[in-house]
Amino acid sequence: QKEVEQDPGPLSVPEGAIVSLNCTYSNSAFQYFMWYRQYSRKGPELLMYTYSSGNKEDGRFTAQVDKSSKYISLFIRDSQPSDSATYLCAMSRAAGNKLTFGGGTRVLVKP
């Protein structure tokens, strides 16, 4: 079993809809959580960075962490075709520890 699980998708939504992405993990020691966006044949781009449990909002993006359930989420409001990409979650136990990545979820936003 992988330490971090992510549904590979694809997740197809109409433009303007809310995109809901999530990752589950097995290591309760993870404390730092990140979401990256990766366009096809490009490097990942850091979208959100959170520490411990709670919510964080940045523009159209909201990241949620539920450590009790070992579950993190990313919501994208008012989705645009330009949001079509693969979204990777990543997490680490502490500052300076290596990142463990999920396999990524491919998202398609249709005009």
Partner 1 sequence: DGGITQSPKYLFRKEGQNVTLSCEQNLNHDAMYWYRQDPGQGLRLIYYSQIVNDFQKGDIAEGYSVSREKKESFPLTVTSAQKNPTAFYLCASSIGFSYNEQFFGPGTRLTVL
Between 7 and 17, name the residue whose CB sits nearer to partner 1: 7
Which residues share a beta bridge with 9?
none
In angstroms, rounded to a whole number, what is the distance separating the alpha carbons of residues 108 and 39? 11
Between 19 and 33, name the residue whose CB sits nearer to partner 1: 33
User: What are 46's two structure tokens?
Assistant: 């850091």
The footprint of partner 1 (CB under 8 A) covers 2, 4, 6, 8, 32, 34, 36, 41-46, 49, 88, 90, 92, 95-104
Helix, strand counts (H, E) of the chain: 0, 11
Minimum gap (Å) between residue 44 Cβ and partner 1: 5
